[in-house]
Amino acid sequence: NPETNQPVYGRLANAGPKKRVMISTGDESVV
């Protein structure tokens, strides 16, 4: 569900680089 991952990715990405790496495993395909 890219629509569901997009907003989550944006929020986590703003949280910090560490969070981005963690979600990168799940949202990597979306990114």
pLDDT at 3: 55
Give the pTM: 0.14
pLDDT in tens, 1-31: 455 555 555 555 555 555 555 555 555 555 4
Q: Contact 28/5 with Cβ under 8 angstroms?
A: no
Tell me what pLDDT residue 1 has.
Answer: 45
Query: How distant, in Å, are the alpha carbons of 4, 14, 18 from that of 25?
Result: 15, 17, 12
Domain membership flag for residue 31: no
Q: Quick one: DSSP state of residue 28?
A: T
> How many residues does the structure list for the chain?
31
Tell the residue number behind the tokens 């680089």, with chain if given. 17
Angle at 22 between CA 1 and CA 4, to 5 degrees: 20
Structural domains in the chain (count): 1
Domain assignment of residue 10, yes or no: yes
Residue 13 belongs to what domain range? 1-26
